[in-house]
Structure 1
Amino acid sequence: MKFDQLAQEAINELSTLQDFVRWAVSRMAEHEVYHGHGTDNPWDEALYLVAHALNLPWQLADNWRSSKLTRSERERVVDLLSQRIHEKVPTPYLTGEAWFCGKPYLVDERVLVPRSPIGELIQARFSPWLPGSAEPARILDLCTGSGCIGIACAHEFGNAQVELLDISFESLEVAEANIGMHGLDDRVFALQSDLFSAASGRYDIIVSNPPYVDADDMAELPKEYRHEPELALAAGDDGLDLVRIMLAEVREYLTDDGIFILEVGNSFPALQAAYPQLAFEWPEFEHGGHGVCVLRASDLDVLTEELTTGA
């Protein structure tokens, strides 16, 4: 039976909010929907989409789930679910919103969907690498995309000036909209930049979730990821095309007590193999995620010495 026929049956025969949540879960399983953009299971995603289509909060009390839908509401719900299931559009692109560090961000297909485990480090104020009483004056979010990482840092460190750098003018439009939505225009600034080209002076924290997907992983990405900008994902055969440039230059922009937080995902074995001289620290995450390293400014001095001596 074709999906269109099933969709029409759902509109004609289902009635309650819970009916459509259950129906969506079944169809997601049938069509092998991949959950990797803010949820890890079909139940949460189905509830979020159904609630959004009905202009309701997704944290619904149980008694709301038995509410009956009008025909126009049923059609609206099925249309949204069809885009998710049939076209494999990630849920945050359908709703225009993603949550990061407990706050909402505007998103669309100009930027990656926020999901970095770096958020856990921000909420821990980068402890133990940053002293508990430390109040960084300047923070740089390199390859910022939606701006969620830098903006979350601004929320956590209330006196810091934060710069958001990205090569994509389209992504910076989204970042600027998020700066405004979060009311941070006075100390968070978005700048177009080819990596560090627009950076100036030194920063206490530099954090980056750059493109790091290697060629093999790019070839096997689920269809959902094809809706995201390839510029923000692909990074050559080993995933380190941009990371190599960043590591060669980052020490110049760090204060002597500064830290560099870098996400490389599945490319972490390639990074360790390419830089055996660096003392990478790899945090473990309570809420999932991997491939994020922390380097202190002093750890990076070895690269500066190698460049100076030609070793």
Structure 2
Amino acid sequence: MKQSSRNAQTPPASLPVTSQLATLRDWLAFAEDAYARAGLALGQIATNAHDEALYLLLRTLDWPLDSDASVLDKRIAPAQRTALRAMLRRRVIERVPAAYITREAFLGGNRYYVDERVLIPRSYFLELIPAQLDCWLPQNGKGARRVVDVCTGSGCLAIELAHHFPNARVDAIDLSADALDVAKINVREHRLSRRVKLYRSDVFDAVPAPKSPAEKYDVILSNPPYEPSRICDDLPVEFQKEPRLALDGGRDGLDIIRKLLAQARDRLAPHGIVVIEVGGLRRAMEGAFGALGLHWLHTEDGSDCVCLVQAKHLLTSKSPAI
């Protein structure tokens, strides 16, 4: 989970008067100022107030997101002003995350339905799946037939995997029935119902065991709950509106990761890989699972918080941590 730092400012009880705001440019300047005054947390869909506010304004007006700069000088009708003010009240006063207001989030060029039942999609896997996984697999990934997304949430990463591995069957696992209802919407909208199968399960507990080597996974991928519980207790308001089940990784953040690695032994093909996004737990991962030969994939921002484990290390390890 990528997020901005916490801001301790207290949100205002109401919005200033907006009757003087005539154009989208006026509303954008007003929104940016309101964001700053309220100290809103960012990072769920955008990293700066300008981009998030413009996105929300355009979506509320039902104007194209790819509009050119001339749109800023368009006049705002009275009914539109009412809708914009109501939207900004939800974002600034009630601190509702932008994606929950619009009911959508984007990974790359793909749009996903989201609501309060799921974590808002944001993951380093967006850059890593197309750029760095194939070289770890036979035939440069072209032979991948079985892949799985554990803790799938909205189903976005399972869908990204299905797009990247067009010949693979994709399993998508989550403990939350609510999250799987959202994932079902996205799988259907991306027309992948025949290739992506959803399972309600605590990691692999309720997923049928492979009956033959051919049914084992080439890729086990997960962006699991990995925030230590104490961190979850102190998240900004916007992040606390996301499902805690999707964030809280237990006392040290490793609860789900331990279980995933232990169960992956019997599910992973001999040539397969396990890839896990772990946030700020790199040192903890090295301490607990260093014997697995963790390889840290490089990310554009230098956080390098996604680790890869090869089957040959996982299957022969006697690490007490798993």
Same fold by TM (over 0.5)? Answer: yes
User: Which residues of 2 match residues 109-188 of structure 1 at below 5 A?
Assistant: 109-124=116-131, 126-130=133-137, 131-132=139-140, 134-188=142-196
Identical columns (%): 37
Asked whether the equivalents of residues 211 and 231 of structure 1 are also in contact (C-alpha less than 8 Å), the reply is yes
Determine helix, strand or coil for the equivalent of 2:297: coil
Asked whether the equivalents of residues 214 and 267 of structure 1 are also in contact (C-alpha less than 8 Å), the reply is no
User: Which residues of 2 match residues 220-259 of structure 1 at below 5 A?
Assistant: 220-259=234-273
Amino acid aligned to 1:141: D
Q: Give the corresponding residue for 1:200.
A: 209
Query: Which of 94, 105, 115 is 1:98 aligned to?
Result: 105
Deviations 1:184-229 (A, max 9, x none): 1111111111210214321111101111100232122111111100
Deviations 1:153-207 (A, max 9, x none): 1011111110101111100000010000000111111111121021432111110
Amino acid aligned to 2:185: A
Task: Say how many residue pairs are matched.
Answer: 305
Displacement of 1:133 after TM fit? Answer: 5.3
Query: Which of 49, 53, 63 is 2:60 aligned to?
Result: 53
Change (3 A) 1:286 1:250: same
Amino acid aligned to 1:69: I
User: Which residues of 2 match residues 280-295 of structure 1 at below 5 A?
Assistant: 280-286=294-300, 289-295=303-309
Cα distance in 2, alignment partners of residues 168 and 134 from structure 1: 32
Change (3 A) 1:132 1:174: same
Amino acid aligned to 1:187: R
Cα distance in 1, alignment partners of residues 106 and 15 from structure 2: 34
Determine helix, strand or coil for the equivalent of 1:170: helix
Determine helix, strand or coil for the equivalent of 2:29: helix
Asked whether the equivalents of residues 135 and 141 of structure 2 are also in contact (C-alpha less than 8 Å), the reply is no
1:80 aligns to 2:102 (yes or no)? no
Cα distance in 1, alignment partners of residues 164 and 101 from structure 2: 29
Displacement of 1:269 after TM fit? Answer: 1.6
Amino acid aligned to 2:306: V
What's the C-alpha RMSD, in Å, of the aligned pairs?
1.9
Deviations 1:94-132 (A, max 9, x none): 100000132000001111000010111112261432353
